[in-house]
């Protein structure tokens, strides 16, 4: 591999190539001056060719260990989600449907299209409900740096690198002992007058004033390392513990009720503490869905009667805002140099993580039962009301909505145990060529114990429904038709639990050689460098559920959870070439052409080719241009291929429900609504409807093409910048049609491709019971395109006895385009700068600016400005306040104090002005706002003490 004649230039530009610092402190980069005889070659993310510096033809964002620590982050995903190139995926704030994992999503293209590496090798899939890599496995205290390649990487690393690559490089050469202890939490002043007024109108309770410090986190990290065997070997070992307290939505006023965007009122669920009933009579032995009464109950002098004044339950306060979490990790990195031809290395990592996702109480979620009109479970007054409303009816079909306030919230108790071992040998073959052969085994065992939900199979008996066994002996009747008749003991008998376990493995055998060919191109003195390698991957996943999960027998699950067994194998061969073309000419200080290719043979879908072409043009010592083209693929994962098709829930609205439907009567008729039902279909106030979801073993890989073009400059001393344009296009996208969009398009177009997917119940509903649903299974459907510009800049200047540094990284989003059904008119849309039921809140501009001062003494100070540009609502029906969300600014401050050579204390406050997140309402987010993106919980105070000896 060629050496750089201007090492000082390489180091100076390295920061620019990696973009700007992301937090208040920037790690120093030290290098020797020209004249050094030998420079160590390193492997940079995006290529297996070892280089003498960080120069690369693809844009790479580098975040150092000091930057991570300065942000006070104890969760890796929180740190990365603060970068403009990253969109929130699974986080600690994901509760309803929580996987218990943490994942990364570059560009908002999808966590399953972002490849996560640990020391340049794949991290195994996450667990029971997620195929994305779980970055909970990464101990923050041991991260040396994070390299983010945002220009694709399938030719180098294989499938899944469509959006890019996140590579965690660990501290493998640590010397000494380091103990790090941290304490942090959130504080907020609850004074949101808008939402407090809405809750007053509903009569809801909420908290006011200073919250105190809650959501507290305690961390303890131990790292030790040193050489052995007279310096031939080195070992680094670590152990870390993290404990996070839970936070409920009721601890923040702005999340203490679900805001309905249509009415700007506090909403809730019709499954209420005082039950609601949707009642239909039997006529000639059949349910007459053209007649109904929607009633609740009242106490009239000791007698229970029906009333048409129904109830809405405020389910929000019970939900977790941030899940409690306990995590323990340990591991080691060991290498031993047998000789110059063989260096044996081993990496071992283990993580145990336990978390609980709590949502509002279970209950009878409008399951339907048949009752005799003269059943003794009804009072005489109620029987008289039946006779008046449904004359001649002898039986009634009643959908019951009763919330289990007598029990606790539904809890998913999630546990993950991750194990990963890498062992291999690397070394020099001769002076020009080296090799690396490794075997990697990763596994995740996971479990979900779901409790406090209602067991559907017991309901009919305890309710006294027709055809059910009599409730005698120890059976306690669930007296839902009697005001105040449900007891804690009766509720407890209806509560059930379900268990699911999962186990996944990833086995990878990788071998490659890299070096200089001895062949030079006229015009350059350095030889062509190459990589040639092979890789074999074996992925397997198994999920086993108990009978209760398999039958969908818990009321609040929305449908069954099925067993899942499947896997696939991949055999690959790959190659790279680095071809120096020009050196020290009038038009180029250095011009290099980079080529890469990979052939992958999948056991599920056959052969696929990926490749890259890139140009690295150092114009002179101060200017550089770069461009790359990558063809990428993403093979369908096990869940997408083999998940059992079954009923579940989707969030949104039915445009044909309510007294004033969004669609016309004729349009709703296309979706299966009768003339009598139009305007009379009850909407679900909780905005949840039935869908039929599942896998498809005939799926084909997605195809992606990525283009990047950029320039890097150092126009004057102590200042550098980079500007990179990127364009990512996907075809053959694996997805499912959005159920709400399916209903809308069916209504507007009447096309069978949409309308055949809608199955309304006899009463027109898509949520009462499970007879109505929208089919949304996996398909290779559409096209997507993402386009934008990344900008970074750094400046430093001596000030007093210290150094002042300023940096900025920003991203301009130009396009976020989806076309779910190519060839079908009016189905495509662009989400850039918009928020809606289909669009994440992606601003057109987002940046992070940092300023830090290193005093040269016992203290350093830093400040950071995180900015999210404005976002407009797409569709007036989603608006909460106005037609857009204004730009959001957050200011962070941090100070680091060096007590002595061994002890460092850091104190910081993120979001120092306690800015609340924008409210988008309950249709677009369970918590009225988007977790993991904007600052969710107010001020974040963090204290960290590090001792090293």
The per-residue pLDDT for 884 is: 86
The per-residue pLDDT for 22 is: 33
Distance CA 16, CA 714 (A): 8
Asked whether residue 543 is domain-assigned, the answer is yes
Confidence of residue 512 (pLDDT cuts 50, 70, 90): very high
The per-residue pLDDT for 45 is: 63
Asked whether residue 207 is domain-assigned, the answer is yes
The per-residue pLDDT for 877 is: 52
Distance CA 69, CA 77 (A): 13
- CATH number assigned to the domain comprising residue 610: 2.40.170.20
Asked whether residue 827 is domain-assigned, the answer is yes
* DSSP secondary structure letters along 34-80: TT-S----EEPTT-SSEESSS--SS-EEEEEHHHHHHTT-SSHHHHH
Element (H, E) at 866: strand 859-868
Instruction: Note the Cα 381 to chain centre separation in Å.
Output: 53
Asked whether residue 338 is domain-assigned, the answer is yes
The per-residue pLDDT for 43 is: 58
Integer angstrom CA distances of residue 453 from 76, 156, 466, 555, 769: 32, 47, 24, 7, 16
716 Cβ contact partners less than 8 Å away, ≥ 6 residues apart: none
The per-residue pLDDT for 15 is: 27
Distance CA 201, CA 196 (A): 9
Q: Which is nearest to 578 in space by CA: 655, 519, 635?
A: 519
Cβ pair 13, 714 in contact under 8 A: yes
Structural domain count, the chain: 1
Asked whether residue 335 is domain-assigned, the answer is yes
Cβ pair 889, 912 in contact under 8 A: no
Distance CA 880, CA 264 (A): 7
The model's pLDDT over 616-628, given as tens digits with 9 standing for 90+, comes to 999 998 999 999 9
Average pLDDT, rounded, for the chain? 88
Distance CA 41, CA 22 (A): 26
Asked whether residue 875 is domain-assigned, the answer is yes
Q: Which is nearest to 595 in space by CA: 528, 523, 520?
A: 528
Decide if pLDDT at 682 tops 80: yes
The per-residue pLDDT for 878 is: 54
Decide if pLDDT at 425 tops 80: yes
Q: What is the mean pLDDT of residues 378-385?
A: 96
Confidence of residue 9 (pLDDT cuts 50, 70, 90): very low
Cβ pair 600, 539 in contact under 8 A: no
Q: Which residue range is the domain that position 125 belongs to?
A: 7-253+321-358+413-450+500-640+699-736+778-948
Q: What is the mean pLDDT of residues 514-536?
A: 92
Question: What is the end-to-end Cα distance of the chain in Å, rounded?
Answer: 38
Q: Which is nearest to 333 in space by CA: 418, 241, 425, 238?
A: 238
Asked whether residue 266 is domain-assigned, the answer is no
The per-residue pLDDT for 876 is: 53
Q: Find the range with the poorest average confidence among 167-171, 612-616, 683-687.
A: 683-687
Pairing of strands 433-454, 265-266: unpaired
CA dihedral of 5, 11, 13, 15, whole degrees rounded to 10: 160
Confidence of residue 8 (pLDDT cuts 50, 70, 90): very low
Q: Find the range with the poorest average confidence among 231-240, 500-509, 592-601, 819-828.
A: 819-828
pTM of the model: 0.85
The model's pLDDT over 701-738, given as tens digits with 9 standing for 90+, comes to 999 999 999 999 999 999 999 999 999 999 999 888 88
The per-residue pLDDT for 180 is: 94
The model's pLDDT over 585-615, given as tens digits with 9 standing for 90+, comes to 889 999 999 999 999 999 988 888 999 999 9
Q: For tokens 């490659």, what's the residue?
A: 512
Element (H, E) at 666: helix 665-670
Q: What percent of the chain has pLDDT over 90?
A: 65
Q: Which is nearest to 35 in space by CA: 2, 14, 8?
A: 8
Confidence of residue 841 (pLDDT cuts 50, 70, 90): confident
The model's pLDDT over 26-73, given as tens digits with 9 standing for 90+, comes to 333 333 333 443 444 555 566 655 543 445 667 888 888 888 888 888
Distance CA 445, CA 420 (A): 12
Pairing of strands 265-266, 259-260: antiparallel
Q: What percent of the chain has pLDDT over 70?
A: 93
Decide if pLDDT at 638 tops 90: no
The per-residue pLDDT for 23 is: 33
The per-residue pLDDT for 698 is: 85
Q: What is the mean pLDDT of residues 408-434?
A: 94
Residues linked to residue 571 through DSSP beta bridges, in sequence order: 536, 601
Phi-psi region of 732 (alpha: psi -120 to 50; beta: other; left: phi over 0): left
Cβ pair 465, 457 in contact under 8 A: no
Q: Which is nearest to 145 in space by CA: 42, 36, 234, 8?
A: 42
133 Cβ contact partners less than 8 Å away, ≥ 6 residues apart: 103, 104, 116, 122, 123, 124, 125, 126
Distance CA 108, CA 91 (A): 14
Asked whether residue 368 is domain-assigned, the answer is no
Confidence of residue 880 (pLDDT cuts 50, 70, 90): low
The model's pLDDT over 291-349, given as tens digits with 9 standing for 90+, comes to 999 999 999 999 999 999 999 999 999 999 999 999 999 999 999 999 989 999 999 99
Q: What is the mean pLDDT of residues 809-828?
A: 87
Q: For tokens 């071809």, what's the residue?
A: 579
Distance CA 708, CA 728 (A): 9
């Amino acid at each position: 591999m060629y050496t750089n004649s201007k090492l000082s230039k390489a180091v100076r530009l390295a920061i620019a190539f990696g973009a700007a610092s992301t937090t208040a402190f920037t790690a120093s980069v030290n290098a020797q001056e020209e004249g050094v005889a030998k420079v160590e070659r390193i492997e940079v993310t995006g290529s297996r060719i070892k280089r003498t510096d960080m120069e690369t033809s693809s844009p790479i964002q580098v975040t150092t260990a000091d930057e991570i620590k300065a942000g006070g982050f104890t969760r890796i995903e929180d740190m990365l989600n603060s970068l403009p190139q990253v969109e929130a995926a699974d986080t600690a704030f994901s509760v309803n449907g929580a996987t218990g994992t943490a994942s990364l999503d570059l560009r908002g293209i999808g966590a399953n299209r972002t490849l996560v590496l640990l020391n340049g090798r794949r991290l195994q899939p996450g667990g029971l409900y997620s195929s994305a890599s779980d970055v909970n496995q990464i101990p923050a205290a041991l991260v040396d740096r994070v390299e983010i390649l945002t220009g694709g990487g399938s030719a180098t690393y294989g499938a899944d690198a469509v959006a890019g690559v996140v590579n965690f490089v660990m501290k493998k050469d640590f010397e000494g002992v380091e103990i790090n202890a941290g304490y942090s939490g959130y504080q907020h002043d609850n004074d949101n007058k808008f939402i407090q007024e809405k809750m007053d109108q509903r009569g809801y309770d909420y908290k006011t004033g200073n919250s105190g410090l809650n959501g507290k986190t305690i961390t303890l990290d131990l790292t030790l390392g040193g050489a052995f065997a007279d310096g031939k070997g080195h070992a680094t070992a670590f152990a870390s513990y993290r404990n996070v307290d839970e936070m409920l939505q009721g601890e923040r006023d702005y999340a203490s009720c679900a805001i309905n965007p249509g009415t700007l009122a506090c909403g809730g669920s019709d499954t209420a503490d005082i039950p609601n009933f949707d009642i239909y009579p039997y006529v000639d032995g059949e349910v007459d869905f053209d007649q109904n009464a929607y009633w609740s109950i009242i106490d009239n002098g000791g007698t229970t009667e029906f009333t048409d004044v129904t109830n809405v339950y405020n389910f929000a306060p019970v939900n977790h805002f941030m899940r409690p979490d306990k995590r323990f990790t340990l591991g080691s990195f060991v290498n031993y140099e047998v000789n110059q031809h063989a260096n044996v290395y081993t990496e071992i990592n283990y993580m145990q993580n336990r978390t609980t996702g709590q949502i509002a109480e279970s209950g009878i979620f409008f399951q339907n039962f048949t009752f005799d009109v003269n059943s003794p479970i009804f009072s005489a007054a109620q029987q008289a009301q039946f006779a008046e409303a449904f004359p001649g009816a002898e039986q009634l079909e009643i959908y019951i909505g009763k919330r289990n306030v007598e029990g606790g919230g539904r809890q998913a108790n999630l546990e993950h145990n991750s194990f990963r071992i890498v062992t291999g040998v690397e070394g020099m073959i001769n002076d020009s060529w080296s090799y690396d052969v490794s075997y990697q085994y990763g596994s995740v065992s996971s479990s979900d114990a779901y409790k406090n939900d209602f067991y559907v199979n017991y309901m009919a008996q305890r309710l006294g429904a027709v055809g059910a066994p009599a409730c005698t002996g120890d059976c306690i009747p669930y007296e839902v038709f009697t005001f105040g008749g449900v007891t804690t003991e009766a509720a407890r008998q209806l509560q059930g639990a379900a268990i699911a376990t999962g186990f996944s493995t990833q086995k990878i055998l990788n071998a490659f050689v890299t070096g200089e060919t001895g062949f030079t191109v006229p015009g350059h003195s350095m030889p062509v460098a190459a990589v040639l390698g092979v890789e074999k991957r074996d992925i397997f996943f198994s999920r086993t559920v108990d009978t209760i999960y398999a039958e969908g027998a818990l009321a609040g699950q929305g449908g069954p959870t099925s067993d899942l067994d499947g896997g696939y194998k991949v055999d690959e061969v790959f190659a790279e070439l680095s071809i120096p073309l020009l050196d020290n000419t009038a038009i180029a200080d250095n011009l290099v052409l980079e080529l890469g290719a990979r052939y992958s043979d999948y056991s599920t879908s056959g052969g696929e080719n990926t490749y890259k072409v890139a140009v690295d043009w150092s114009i002179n010592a101060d200017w550089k241009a770069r461009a790359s083209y990558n063809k990428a693929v993403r093979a369908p994962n096990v869940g997408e291929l083999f998940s059992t098709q079954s009923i579940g829930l989707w969030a949104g609205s039915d445009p044909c429900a309510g007294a004033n439907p969004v669609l016309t009567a004729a349009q709703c008729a296309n979706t299966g609504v009768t003339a009598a039902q139009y305007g009379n279909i009850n909407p679900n106030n909780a905005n949840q409807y039935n869908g039929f979801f599942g896998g498809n073993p005939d799926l084909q890989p997605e195809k992606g093409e990525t283009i990047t073009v950029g320039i890097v400059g150092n126009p004057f001393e102590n200042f550098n910048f980079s500007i990179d344009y990127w364009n990512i296009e996907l075809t053959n996208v694996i997805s499912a049609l959005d159920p709400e969009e399916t209903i809308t398009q069916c209504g507007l177009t009447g096309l069978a491709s949409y309308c055949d997917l809608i199955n309304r119940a006899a009463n027109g509903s898509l949520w009462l019971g499970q007879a109505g649903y929208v089919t949304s299974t996996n398909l290779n459907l559409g096209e997507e395109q993402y386009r934008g510009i990344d900008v970074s800049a750094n400046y430093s200047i001596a000030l007093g006895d210290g150094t002042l540094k300023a940096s900025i990284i920003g991203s301009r989003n130009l396009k976020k385009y989806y076309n779910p059904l190519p060839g079908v008119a009016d189905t495509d849309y662009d989400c850039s700068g918009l928020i809606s039921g289909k669009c994440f809140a992606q601003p057109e501009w987002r940046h992070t600016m940092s300023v830090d001062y290193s005093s040269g003494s016992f203290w350093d100070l830093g400040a950071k400005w995180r900015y999210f540009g404005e976002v407009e609502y797409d569709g007036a029906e989603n608006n909460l306040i106005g037609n857009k969300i204004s730009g959001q600014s957050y200011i962070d401050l941090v100070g680091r104090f060096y007590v002595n050579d061994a002890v460092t204390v850091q104190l910081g406050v993120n979001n120092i002005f306690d800015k609340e997140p924008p409210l988008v309402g309950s249709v677009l987010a369970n918590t009225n706002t988007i977790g993991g993106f904007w600052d969710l919980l107010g001020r974040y105070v963090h204290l960290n003490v590090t001792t090293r000896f």
